[in-house]
Structure 1
Amino acid sequence: MTTNLDRRLHAFRPDLADVRLQGQVNADRFVAGEPARVAVPVAALRHLPDLLHGTDTELLLGETVRVFDRKDGWAWVQADHDGYVGYLPEAQLAEPEAATHVVCVQRTFRYPEAELRRPPVSALSMGSRIRVTGEAETRGTRYLTLDDGTALIASHCLPLGQRLTEDYVKVAARFLETPYLWGGRSGFGIDCSALVQLSMMMAGRAVPRDSDMQAAVGSTIDRAELRRGDLVFWKGHVGIMEDERTLLHANGHTMTVARENFEAAVERIGWLYSQPTGFRRP
């Protein structure tokens, strides 16, 4: 049996593994796991059960996971939307429930009631999933209400399954000036590949999480063919072409999501690191 599987996308350890990997990996025990959902606005997913260990990616409120193990306050899970595997605090999970809506703006607030003058109880990122149980209106502002009585601005949410737009580049541009965050995948902080993934998700397109995985998306093109929506890859980095001359990317140079002249970006990144490794049309 082989263990040459990507640990980011396959749940296996010497003592425990996903039952779907039986016959592919060695483990003392195989389990099917149990469903759960993320119960906090943003949950960091780590390779190890240690708060001092770096974040690999983030999961958003309402996203569902399969839990393979719970131990010492940690849960070992696999995200349903992209298959990413890691650890998060067990307290950040709750029983699954069917979401009805998704947050469609970069950031929004959840209020204790349908009243924007009340102090919000939390802030949510684009991509967060909620279960709406009612509606309300206060001074002409429409709200969606949840089963605990809290409320969100109705125009900040879409019914689950409805696209925000077919133009994922337009979604990505909404994140301009959002802080760069290694492993970040939310409107509060985001990295280069998460900008691609989250923007495409809101346009109804599923792509993998990390840039090396995304480098297989779509078809290969030549540099001279670059146009809006194409992806440019470097080792460990990805950017989105906003047009044939402009790159949109979350980057460690500005520490934000920024627009940059493509040729200037190639020169700057090449001087420090390397030249682009590929060009793809999703």
Structure 2
Amino acid sequence: MALDRRLNAYREDLAEKRLEGQVAACRFVTGEPARIVSPVSGLRPKPDPASGIDTEVLFGEEVTVFDRAEGWAWVKAASDGYVGYLPDAALAPPDASPTHHVVVPRTFLYPGADLRFPACAALSMGSRVAVVGEAETRGTRYFLVADGRAIVAGHCLPIGTYASNDYVAIATRFLETPYLWGGRSGFGIDCSGLVQLSLMMTGRSAPRDTDMQAAGLGVEIGRGDLKRGDLVFWKGHVAIMEDEKTLLHANGHTMTVAREDFEAAVKRIAWLYDVPTGYRRPVT
């Protein structure tokens, strides 16, 4: 059986070292670490800007770089092992290790500790920054980050600490966020990205894609057992139960993260994608 190329870096000319003996390639490499310095970078199956994104990596997240060519880097994301291509300009050496992560849906980086300064960049929940100092301006506290910019301190927590243990509550903070195929940020998100990012912000890991989540995230349950936090799967889609009667999902129907009556959603989706294929409960 062929290895899943989403999680295994291999081509005819090059493959990651751990796959030696499992795949055929001219050369095997361990790769080198790098960190994302773009606010959000799309990870694509081909080094082509016209190719759709499979997922996204966020500011401050680490990747392993296997190859660089013609402005593209072939990488593997440390957060979930996803493999793909992104612009080489989105990467920098991992000099300063992140100390804090963003715990609000969106925030800004400023050139200094003052909200009146023009913002340099917008960051999503889950982004990581290396804090090297603090400052206060007109009562607002800021963290100073390693590259000299500033971020509102109240929008961050130390890595390893979390604003909530309730991933459903975190998912609700993305309500009305635009739907984006392959999206995994507060600027645009897809159904499985919503599940993964919300769980990540409670300290739990999840596979990236719907089929991966349906195959092994948590434990299988029956439809009659559904409660808050359980997952409902269709072919190519996943939704989060907010309670026994309501679900949350990033969906192409509203093109947003939205609430929907569970039974109404099952009926609406059935004509195109059939009935749900399974139900799972993430491990708490």
**TM-score, structure 1 as length reference:** 0.98
**Identity percentage over the alignment?**
68
Q: Deviations over 1:18-73 (max 9, x none)?
A: 00001110101000000001010000000000000000000000000000001111
2:252 alignment counterpart: 252
- Offset of residue 163 of structure 1: 1.8
* Unaligned ranges ≥5, structure 1: none
1:9 alignment counterpart: 7
Please list, as runs of the form range in 1=range in 2, the aligned pairs for 1:71-82 lying within 5 A after superposition: 71-82=69-80
Please list, as runs of the form range in 1=range in 2, the aligned pairs for 1:154-173 lying within 5 A after superposition: 154-173=153-172
Q: Partners in 2 of 1:54 and 1:201 — Cα distance?
A: 24
| Partner SS, residue 18 of structure 2 | helix
2:144 alignment counterpart: 145
Q: Partners in 2 of 1:255 and 1:68 — Cα distance?
A: 35
1:274 alignment counterpart: 274
2:105 alignment counterpart: 106
Please list, as runs of the form range in 1=range in 2, the aligned pairs for 1:99-248 lying within 5 A after superposition: 99-215=98-214, 216-248=216-248
Q: Deviations over 1:120-157 (max 9, x none)?
A: 01100000000000001111111001133211110100
1:50 matches 2:48: yes
| Partner SS, residue 145 of structure 1 | strand
Q: Deviations over 1:194-232 (max 9, x none)?
A: 000000000010011001001111111110110000000
Q: Partners in 2 of 1:201 and 1:70 — Cα distance?
A: 29
Task: Tell me which amino acid in the other structure corresponds to 2:90.
Answer: Q
| Partner SS, residue 197 of structure 1 | helix
Q: Partners in 1 of 2:17 and 2:142 — Cα distance?
A: 43
**TM-score, structure 2 as length reference:** 0.97
2:85 alignment counterpart: 87
Q: Partners in 2 of 1:101 and 1:77 — Cα distance?
A: 23
| Partner SS, residue 214 of structure 1 | helix
| Partner SS, residue 54 of structure 2 | strand
2:33 alignment counterpart: 35
Q: Partners in 2 of 1:254 and 1:242 — Cα distance?
A: 18
| Partner SS, residue 143 of structure 1 | strand
Task: Tell me which amino acid in the other structure corresponds to 1:83.
Answer: G
Is the alpha carbon distance of 1:37 and 1:148 closer, same or farther for their aligned partners in structure 2, counting shifts above 3 Å?
A: closer
Q: Deviations over 1:72-124 (max 9, x none)?
A: 11100000110000000111100013100000000001111110011101100
Q: Partners in 2 of 1:149 and 1:75 — Cα distance?
A: 26
Task: Tell me which amino acid in the other structure corresponds to 2:82.
Answer: Y
* Unaligned ranges ≥5, structure 2: none
| CA RMSD of superposed structures (Å) | 0.7
Q: Partners in 1 of 2:145 and 2:80 — Cα distance?
A: 26
Shift >6 Å, 4+ stretches: none
Q: Partners in 2 of 1:273 and 1:22 — Cα distance?
A: 39
Q: Partners in 2 of 1:78 and 1:144 — Cα distance?
A: 29
Q: 1:69 aligns with which of 64, 67, 70?
A: 67
Q: Partners in 2 of 1:221 and 1:147 — Cα distance?
A: 46
How many corresponding residue pairs? 280
Task: Tell me which amino acid in the other structure corresponds to 1:74.
Answer: W
